[in-house]
Amino acid sequence: MFRKTTMRRAIAEAIVIYSAGQLLAMVPPNVWPGLLDPVVLPVTWTLRLALTILPPVWAAMRVVSTRREKMSRRFWWLGPQLALYCTMAGALVALMVGESNAFGPTSGPDISRLFSSGHNALSPLSFFTGQLVTFSLLLIYFTIAVVCTRLANGGFLRFTMPAGKGRVTL
């Protein structure tokens, strides 16, 4: 029952998961009381890491496939599609809310920084370069994650021992 959805819905769910991770990063640590910092910071970092790693695995596992299908053209393109859509979602979060590092937001929304001057200004070239780097990293990881997830779900570790009456499938 878990793996009964379309490719379009799986991609949408993966984008929502990735966007939730991006938005979680925008919560500044000073929201929590200082006493909770040793507990809250590692939990939020771990959750953000999980929400960044999970989308390609989630999408590859959710899609209905034929009985014998391990890897088809649509799964080879799933990683690059997810990388493109998640980069666009991350760019939208950066433009509307801002960018973050490990300790919360670094600045205000990038849309206002694009049109400002001074030490806080952001050039369009540097914004697009940052998004291109993000896309490149996501493209590599998402493609590898989708391929490995599909192969693991299809049973790539199964093999049949050589001929004979006692043939065994492992």
Span 11-32, pLDDT tens digits: 999 999 999 999 988 888 788 8
Q: Where are the alpha helices (DSSP H) in 25-169?
A: 37-62, 73-76, 78-96, 110-114, 124-154
Q: How confident is the model at residue 156 (pLDDT cuts 50, 70, 90)?
A: low
CA 133 to chain centre: 14
| Dihedral sign of CA atoms 87, 90, 92, 98 in order | negative
Residues contacting residue 46 through CB under 8 Å, at least 6 positions apart: none
**In this structure, what DSSP letter does residue 27 have?**
S
Instruction: Give pLDDT, residue 52.
Output: 92
Rounded to two decimals, the pTM is 0.82
**pLDDT of 141 strictly over 50:** yes
159 assigned to some structural domain: no
What's the pLDDT score for residue 151? 80
97 within a domain of the structure (yes/no): yes
81: its two tokens = 């599609």
Report the domain count for the chain: 1
Across the chain, mean pLDDT equals: 84
In this model, does residue 58 exceed pLDDT 80?
A: yes
Q: Pull the structure tokens for residue 33.
A: 């009381």
Which residues does 89 contact at the CB level (< 8 Å), separation at least 6? 15, 18, 19, 22
49 found inside a domain: yes
Distance CA 98, CA 1 (A): 38
What is the arithmetic mean of pLDDT over 140-164?
Answer: 74
Residue type, 11: I
* Residue range(s) defining the domain that contains residue 75: 7-154
pLDDT at residue 157 in the model: 52
Question: Does residue 66 carry a pLDDT above 70?
Answer: no
Q: Let me know if residue 56 belongs to a domain.
A: yes
Residue 169 within any structural domain of the chain? no
Please report whether residue 162 resides in a domain. Answer: no
Q: Is the pLDDT of residue 1 over 90?
A: no
91 has pLDDT over 90: yes
In this structure, is residue 170 part of a structural domain?
Answer: no
* 162 phi and psi angles, rounded to 5 deg: -60, 175
**Residue 168 counted as domain residue:** no
pLDDT of residue 33: 84
